[in-house]
Amino acid sequence: LSLAYTETAGHPLLRQAIAGLYEKIVPEHVLVVAPEEGIFIALQSLLKPGDHVVAIWPGYQSLHEIPRKLGCALSFWKPEKKNYPRFSISRLKSLLRKETRLLIVNFPHNPTGAILEKADWEELVQMASERGITVFSDEMYRFLEYDSRDCRPGLCDLLPKAVTLGGLSKGFGLPGLRLGWLATQDPKLFLRMAAWRDYTTICNSAPSEVLGLIALRNREKITSRHRKTILANLDLLDRFFERHEDRFEWYRPRAGSIALPALKGKRDATRFCADLVKQQGVLLVPGKVFGCQANRFRIGFGRKNLPQALEQFEIFVKKHRIGY
């Protein structure tokens, strides 16, 4: 391990290990970055003012704010109300225009934990291919599907013009490494993204790259352990929301370590979340932060201390049987 500058595109062995997660990706297709940096670099490389972008909604803020700040026209692909949180391909088709430059997707989805069914995934690929639309695919929660049959190939494997964002923060449960990657088969796009990298962090942390390589070489062990924690916590959440079904709407996720339940009725979750963290030290994210319905809130369940957090949540709910 050397603490000198590392290679701009990432350590060769690390890029090789990342490429091994895909079928058609080779090390030269991989740019190792911090995940948030990857969003910035990719969208700066792909877009210009006036471009039309269709972005999944709700979603990670920079997925739509960067295009907005670049002067792009945005349309949002939202989940169905009747079959929440299913994302309809027919709805997506209705949003596309002749001038659509980019489609931004995120599956498994943050914050709902939704996935696309296999047939829908294939239809999305066919649609983007036929229309010549570039796709930016945020796949940070990949490998956290509860059922292996719900695992989908990376879009960078399926579309030559797609770019995939992956990383170790979510699927591997290693956010402290601040390590992710961009993968694309498009050589011109890769060069543009690599050039942008010279103006952001230049290169990665050497210790993080070594630890990341160790993690990738032990992927099955690490991701299996992480999924085990998540599934145990999900079972606790199922029972919690069943006990309090008079207060909450529970939409069980299909993947990931996050969900987007709701307070029943037209209640605003903002004050609910503020009082909960103030009184019991449990942090939830109000739906308004994601720009979705005010009664929704995001709950994370990827940590081993969820049982203790739920105990405090239960105390709060019982304390406030009337209100909110």
Sketch the domain layout of the chain as residue ranges: 12-217, 221-319
Please check the confidence at residue 108 and state whether its pLDDT lies above 80.
yes
Predicted pLDDT at 58: 95
Angle between helices 61-69 and 35-46 (to 10 degrees): 30
Please check the confidence at residue 322 and state whether its pLDDT lies above 70.
no
CA 9 vs CA 136, 201, 212, 214, 291: distances in Å: 19, 11, 14, 18, 35
* Measured distance CA(137)–CA(248) in Å, rounded: 31
Q: CA angle at residue 153 from 149 to 156, to 5 degrees?
A: 170
Cβ atoms of 59 and 215 within 8 Å: the answer is: no
Please check the confidence at residue 68 and state whether its pLDDT lies above 70.
yes
Predicted pLDDT at 272: 95
Please check the confidence at residue 232 and state whether its pLDDT lies above 90.
yes
The fold of the 12-217 domain, in CATH, is Aspartate Aminotransferase; domain 2 (3.40.640)
Report the percent of the chain where pLDDT is more than 70.
99
Residue 82 — pLDDT band, cuts 50, 70, 90?
Answer: confident
Lowest mean pLDDT, pick from 183-192, 211-220, 262-271: 262-271
Tell me what the mean pLDDT of segment 38-52 comes to: 98
| pTM of the predicted model as reported, rounded to 2 decimal places | 0.95
Same fold for the pair 12-217 and 221-319: no
Please check the confidence at residue 323 and state whether its pLDDT lies above 90.
no
Residue 321 — pLDDT band, cuts 50, 70, 90?
Answer: confident
Helices (H), 11-162: 12-19, 35-46, 61-69, 89-95, 118-131, 155-158
Predicted pLDDT at 81: 85
Please check the confidence at residue 83 and state whether its pLDDT lies above 90.
no
Predicted pLDDT at 41: 98
pLDDT, tens digit, 9 for 90 and up, residues 156-214: 999 999 999 999 999 999 999 999 999 999 999 999 999 999 999 999 999 999 999 99
Q: Is 52 helix (H, G, I), strand (E, B) or coil?
A: strand
Please check the confidence at residue 324 and state whether its pLDDT lies above 70.
no
Strand 262-263 and strand 248-249: pairing?
antiparallel
pLDDT, tens digit, 9 for 90 and up, residues 16-33: 999 999 999 999 999 999
Query: Could you name the CATH architecture of 221-319?
Result: Alpha-Beta Complex (3.90)
Predicted pLDDT at 115: 97
* Measured distance CA(93)–CA(90) in Å, rounded: 5
Average pLDDT, the chain: 96
Q: Which residue has the tokens 């929704």?
A: 296
pLDDT, tens digit, 9 for 90 and up, residues 123-137: 999 999 999 999 999
